Amino acid sequence: MYDTIFAEQHHTPAVALVNRGFVNDARSAAASKGVPTARFVPTSIPCECTVADKIAAGVREALPDVLAALTTPLTPEEISPAPRPTELTQGVVFEGDLAEVQRFYYKRGWTDGLPILPPTREAVAEMLTGTDLPPDRVVGKMIPRLGKATVEKIAINAVMAGALPTAMPILIAAVEAMLDPLSSYGIFQVSTGSWSPFFIVNGPIREQVRINGSSGALSPGDLANASIGRAIGLMARNLGGARKGLEDMGVLGNPAKYSMVLGENEEDSPWQPQHVQLGFAATDNAVTVSFPNSYVQIVPRGTDDRGILDTICDRLGKSWRQVTVLVCPSHAATLADAGWTPSTLVAEIQRTRPPVPATGIGRLSDTEGARVVVAGGPGAWIGLVLGVGRWVSRPVSVPANWDRLVRKYRDYVPNYLRY
Amino acid sequence: MMYEVLSPWAETDPLPLAGITPRLDGIQGKRIGLYANYKRAAVPIQDAVHAQLLERFGESIALDRFHQAGSNDVGSSADEGPLFAKWLEGLDGVIVAVGD
């Protein structure tokens, strides 16, 4: 609908043909651009249809309405639209017990379906100890609502997600990375493709905040991995206003939208970690985001370097665009022993990729379609995280009180019973 | 235990609301733009619109086409936005196909 709004803003009467299932999305998009009464005609043409007969039939059915939308005089509401309803954004919005708070937040559409921790003033104040930035600092504006991602709002959503204050530096950097136009977040977050943010954290902060990069790094059970991704998901909803079936039009959805965060397993890697390859110092902290929509795990058909590489290339096939290859430490050692480095691996994997279309999301070049990251624990599995866009990295800045903060939350770890 | 809780919902800058452009007094004699975004169904949809408008109005209307190359919001695209704006200048009305 943005193109339709653009035409209206340029004084050209416009009407959009929109699949029936996208009516709410069209209304929301028009409202988000300040032209809530922009006209559109719902059609029966299947989404992304390539069948000429169905398209022709759908257009024939819709054409009278299309012509009417271009010629029917405007209503008073269309000439001067009423302000849209506003949501409470400041101060205390509810008082109740734990169950009542859950119900209130869930019914407002402010959760991801799981229970949240109540974002009280005290909890948010504690969360804000994780940054030196002032609460009212605007880190960016998140689409589609262009909601202001202030440090305080990031903290509120982080509390809800169950994060510790030590997550704040990563969350702030993650928001900065997502909002870099190169990430194409604005498209991925609302796309029918159900793309999900995937974060890789590098540097000493992984160990300090206990981001898992080893066994089961992408499984539930690690507070930092789980809550950082969850907080980002809540921000997409509450700051960006991307709600399922209204703005986020993911057809099938994606469980990774709950959380997909890992630390690179730098300690068990034979190579320089990703952030050092990108020009950061080894002692720097960095977060990298991309927007894949699928993740497959494979066992190589041979455990020498060719067996590992050929399995990766065969599994990728001929139609992939972008992949983060998660190499477990044992395979990384095998590949390194055979002389492979991340850059030579990437070049080898890239050879299998078909030419990149001149247009499309992310606009990847011919040489930036793959990354190799060491992750996971003992065992012999490879992960292929598949997307179409780019990777964007940002440095993570910790507050002055960082050492004290890390000590304060350091013992907040599971102590599993041995049985 | 009772909790006083804060809103996670973000503020936005005030958004001035605008109405839409006055409509046409008819289609005949007008120049109508057919815009297709980057999705694969958009161009075939406009092909069908084009054919059916010609079938219905014949030579009494003029049709003009624009196909978006990039996948970002065309209006804010540095390269395509100005082209799109220029294209709109010559039109009386526009029909947009988005492929969804």
Whether residues A188 and A107 share a domain: the answer is: yes
> Taking 70 as the threshold, does the pLDDT of residue A57 lie above it?
yes
Query: Taking 60 as the threshold, does the pLDDT of residue A359 lie above it?
Result: no
If one counts the domains in chain A, the total is 3
Whether A93 maps to a domain, the answer reads: no
Instruction: Please check whether residues A136 and A159 belong to one and the same domain.
Output: yes
Using DSSP's 3-state secondary structure scheme, residue A193 falls into: coil
- My answer on whether A144 and A261 are in the same domain is yes
- The CATH code of the domain that includes A356 is 3.30.2320
A87 confidence band (pLDDT: 50, 70, 90): confident
Residue A358 in this model has a pLDDT that exceeds 60: no
Q: What is the model's pLDDT at position A336?
A: 98
Each residue of A213-246: pLDDT tens digit? Answer: 999 999 999 999 999 999 999 999 999 999 998 8
Q: Phi first, then psi: what are they for A207, rounded to 5°? A: -75, -35
Q: Do A119 and B6 touch (CB under 8 A)?
A: yes
Distance CA(A345)–CA(A382), nearest Å, equals 14
3-state percent helix, strand, coil for chain A, nearest multiple of 5: 40, 15, 45
B11, B41, B96: residue with CB nearest A3 = B96
Predicted confidence at residue A360, as pLDDT, reads 56
Helix, strand or coil, per DSSP, at residue A168:
helix
Please check whether residues A301 and A264 belong to one and the same domain: no
Instruction: Tell me the two tokens of residue B17.
Output: 């609301």
Give me the mean pLDDT over the A1-5 stretch.
Answer: 91
A246: helix, coil or strand? coil
| Residue-averaged pLDDT of chain A | 93
Domain containing A200 equals 98-271+402-419
Most confident of A134-143, B33-42, B67-76: A134-143
Residues A121 and A72 in one domain: no
Q: Are A295 and A383 in contact (CB under 8 A)?
A: yes
- Joined tokens for residue A70: 């271009």
pLDDT at residue number B29? 94
pLDDT at A366 over 70: no
Residue labelled with tokens 């190169």: A182
Q: Which among A63, A74, A124 is the nearest to B52, CB-wise? A: A63
The answer on A212 and A160 residing in a single domain is yes
pLDDT value of residue A364: 63
Please give the model's pTM, rounded to 2 decimal places.
0.90
3-state secondary structure at position A389:
coil
Q: Does A182 touch chain B (CB under 8 A)?
A: no
- Tally the C-alpha atoms within 13 A of residue A417's C-alpha that lie toward its C-beta: 1
Flag whether A86 is in a domain: no
Task: Tell which of A79, A114, A139 closes a domain.
Answer: A79
CA atoms within a 13 Å half-sphere pointing along the CA-CB vector of A191: 25
pLDDT in tens, A402-417: 999 999 999 999 998 8
The pLDDT assigned to A50 comes to 84
- What mean pLDDT is predicted for residues A263-276? 97
Indicate whether A154 and A196 sit together in one domain: yes
- Report pLDDT digits (tens) over A125-164: 999 999 999 999 999 999 888 999 999 999 999 999 999 9
pLDDT at residue A86 above 80? Answer: no
Q: Provide the pLDDT confidence category of residue A212 given band limits of 50, 70 and 90.
A: very high
The answer on A161 and A33 residing in a single domain is no
Nearest CB partner across the interface for A48, out of B21, B23, B99: B99
pLDDT of residue B79: 84
The answer to whether residue A365 sits within a structural domain is: yes
Partners of residue A9 in chain B, C-beta under 8 Å: 18, 75
Region B38-57 average pLDDT? 93
A22 interfaces chain B, CB cutoff of 8 Å: yes
- A185 and A262 fall within a common domain: yes
A225 shares its domain with A183: yes
A121 chain-B contacts, CB cut-off 8 A:
4, 6
A1:B98 CB<8 A: yes
Which of A25, A37, A67, A127 to substitute to test the interface with B, most B CBs within 10 Å?
A: A67
**Of the partner residues B15, B33, B71, the one whose CB lies closest to the CB of residue A187:** B71
Residue at A175 is within a domain: yes
Instruction: Name the range with the highest mean pLDDT among A25-39, A77-91, A250-264, A359-373.
Output: A250-264
Q: Which of residues 226-245 of A touch B (CB under 8 A)?
A: 234, 238-241
